[in-house]
Structures are given as structure tokens and as C-alpha cells.
Amino acid sequence: MRPHPTLAVYRDIRDIRGDVLRVRAPGAAFGDLALVENPDGTRGLARVIELQRDLVTLQVFHGTRGLSSGAGVRLLGEPLRVACSDNILGRVFSGAGDAIDGGPGLHAEPRVDIAGPPLNPLARRLPQRMIHTGIPMIDLFNTLVESQKLPIFSIPGEPYNALLARVGFQADADVVVFGGLGLMFDDYHFFRHSFEQHGVAHRTVMFINLAGDPVVERLLLPDLALAVAEQYAVQHDRRVLVLLTDMTAYADAHKEIGISLERVPATRGHLGDLYTQLAQRYEKACQLIGSGSLTLLTVTTLPGNDITHPVPDNTGYITEGQIYLHDGVIDPFGSLSRLKQHVIGKATRDDHGQVMNAMVQLYAGAEEARRKQSMGFDLSAFDRRLLSFGERFRTRFMDMNVTLPLTAALDLAWSTMAELFAATELPLRQDLIARYFPADARVSA
């Protein structure tokens, strides 16, 4: 039997490095909470992250600044839990799970363990539904599917936060769980204002770690957000969409803690278990038999725009595609949704797959014609029509301000093709052309 958590205060602190301290404290268990009590009376929570016999390593949630070597550590004998009920909808929490929106306390609310057991694989089922976002470059070309784990690859300075916010307030999900890691205050205010302005705050839960907050909270935040999301999906039969930005900040925090623990780095300073740490979070995405679903959309910034950096490189092996955002638009060539074949033409209109392929093929031709033009080659009449198509494609579909339901986007795609190409010039099935090609189409020169 484990000792009662309130009987002993351990003061044999061996060292304090970064947001980590080591203390001799027998009876600790991995993942348990501890209360760190400073001689001046201030207190803070910590979590056991490493055990070496009776030498316990703790992550201090609110940082170790001002923490004395004479502080005491009291083991609480229980893991970290987070409040989860319908009463947390519309609320904002810190990376440690504390309410920071000035609302009423949640001490009496049911709580769930953030390190709960994995879901039984036999309880999962193949994805069958898409999540409509109203963004043509996602819905039409890189369909987001329930239970999918999909990252947005981008670089600092690109509008990935604006894209993530649009998905949050336009997606047809029952609950949106948002997690901001290392956010600037302006970005936090932007997300909160966006959700409130578009009337979805009542079905949104926000977990926020600002750039100046302790690094430890950056590591806890994805687990808090996913624990809440999993509870809504499994126990409450909700379609849950989790949005996390930025997972590179999470990986950097993991690296920083590793340095404090004097662990040997692997690639570019990141630890050898980076893949495992990312996979444990991404693999929470699932669709359950007889229950709800958890879909995960994250942002992964590319340091130096390097796709081979350990964070995007490992992410690519775990996730089911990626949305590649650069130059302010979603790239139709670099983006990929590996699960879209489960819903395209099945949960969507029967021409979806053919239209998607034809539009991308024509845009590829437009890009080739643009390169020929830039090198001074003579262009054919067909090349000039391809160039016109490329301009209309970028304006009508790639523009980040465009919002269209999927059916309207499909109809617009047919109209756009019909404006510039005869039906016989399109790589489409004849039965689809007969049904959807505009009857009054006139090819422009």
C-alpha cells in the first residue's frame, strides 16, 4: 500500500534546473502530483516525470523562479486530472488546467485523468464522414475526415492561425477543443474573439499557454486538451474537433526539459523519443463504434522552412497527410489527405473525385504554361486558356477569404472549367459531363 500523501514533507532537494527539481522522496509514482511548498509560504503543483529509486524528478508547473533549495515537497498520491463536463464549454484554462477567464470555480465538476488508458483498437471503426469546413481547398481538394489526424505545415509569418480559427468556427463539429502552445497574447485574443464573434464560443473549450508562461505547461497542454476531447467523444457521443497550435513549440519544450534532465540529444537537439511523444498525442484521434469521434488538426511550423527538420519529419510518419500552407495559400500540390478516399463520392456528391482530379490537373497545366511564359516561349491558344484558368483558380478557390459549401464549390468548379474549355477537352467521365456540365457554356477565348 502506498503511504498516505499528507504524512511526510521531503526537503532533501538535490538540484533545481530550469523548471525541474530533484528531491529524495520514497513512495512516489510516475505521473503523480506533488505540492512544492516554499519557505515563504508560496505553493505550487509539480508532477513526477522520472524515478531513480528514491530520487524523484519533478516538473514544477508554474516554474522554479524564486524557489528555494529549502522548499518542501509533499507527495499527493494521485495523477493530474482535469475538469470535464458541459459546464466547461465556453471556458478558458491555462496549460495547467486552471480557469483563467474569471468565471466561477469548477472544483465540484467531474474530473478525468489526463494519462488515461489507450482506447481498445477493436472499438475503432473506419472513417465514414467528412468534416465540412467551408474552405474549398480543404473540402474539395484535401477533405478533412472524422477521426483524421492532420497537420498544417507552414512557416512563421504565414496565416496558419487565421486558417485554424476559420476551421474552428466553420467546421460542423459538436465540440471544439482549442489548445494554444506558446501563443503571443495578440494571437490568443484573436482566437478567443473569433470564436465569440462567430457564435461558437458556447461549444468551445480553450487551453492557453502564452509565450511567457512556464515551459512545463506547454508539455501538459496537449494532454489536457486531448483528455477532455476524448471524454466528450467516448462518454458523451460527441463529434469533437481538436485544434492545436503550434506542435513545434511543444517539441521545443520537450527538448528544453530534456536538456534540464541531461539527456543525450539525438537530432538537432531533440531527444530520441520525439516520435513517441508526438505519436502518443496524435494517435488519440479515432472514430468509435457506437460512440463519437475525435479529429485532430494541428499546426507544425517548419524551422527555416525545412521539411526534413525532426518535428515535421516525424509528424509526417504519424499523421494521415498534411495541409501545406505557404505564400498565404494552401498548396494544391504539396497538400494531401490520405483518408479522403473513404468519403469522396460516398459521403459526398458522385462527381467529387473526378472534379478534384480534373481541377488539379488543369492547374498543373496552368503552372507549366506560366513557366513557359516566364522563359519566353511562344504560347498556344490552349496555353493562354490554361493561364486564365490558373488565375481564376487562385481567385475562386485558393484565396484564403473564400468560403463555400462543398456543393457550391463543386458547381463553381464546373462553371470555371466550362468558361475556358469545351467538354471534350476535360479529363472527366462522359456520364458526369452529361449531368453537370453547364448546358449554356460558352468557351471564352
Q: What is the pTM of this model?
A: 0.90
Compute the average pLDDT of residues 390-418.
95
* Residue 151 in grid coordinates: 497537420
Query: For position 278, what pLDDT does the model report?
Result: 94
pLDDT at 292: 87
Predicted confidence at residue 421, as pLDDT, reads 93
Rounded Cα–Cα distance for residues 211 and 184 (Å)? 6
pLDDT in tens, 58-106: 988 877 888 888 888 998 888 888 889 889 999 999 988 889 988 888 8
Q: Is the pLDDT of residue 136 over 90?
A: yes
User: How large is the average pLDDT for residues 286-290?
Assistant: 82
Q: Output the pLDDT for position 265.
A: 80
Nearest C-alpha neighbor of 150 from the set 311, 302, 282: 282
The C-alpha cell that represents 343 in the structure block = 468519403
- Cell 467521365 sits on residue: 429
Q: Which of 97-111, 128-142, 232-246 is predicted least confidently?
A: 97-111
**How high is the pLDDT of residue 325?**
95
The answer to whether the Cα torsion of 312, 315, 320, 325 is positive or negative is: negative
120 phi and psi angles, rounded to 5 deg: -65, 120
User: Residue 443 pLDDT > 50, yes or no?
Assistant: yes
Burial string for 318-338 (b: 16+ CB within 10 Å, else e) reads bbbbbbbbeeebbbbeebbbe
| pLDDT, tens digit, 9 for 90 and up, residues 297-342 | 999 999 989 899 999 999 999 999 999 999 999 999 989 999 999 9
- Look at residue 1 in the predicted model and tell me its pLDDT: 41
What is the model's pLDDT at position 15?
A: 86
Residue 140's pLDDT is: 96
Question: Residue 121 above 80 pLDDT?
Answer: no
Which residues is 152 bridged to in the sheet? 299, 323
Alpha carbon distance 419, 423 (integer Å): 10
| Higher per-residue pLDDT: 63 or 357 | 357
The predicted structure's pLDDT at residue 54? 87
Mean pLDDT of 4-21: 79
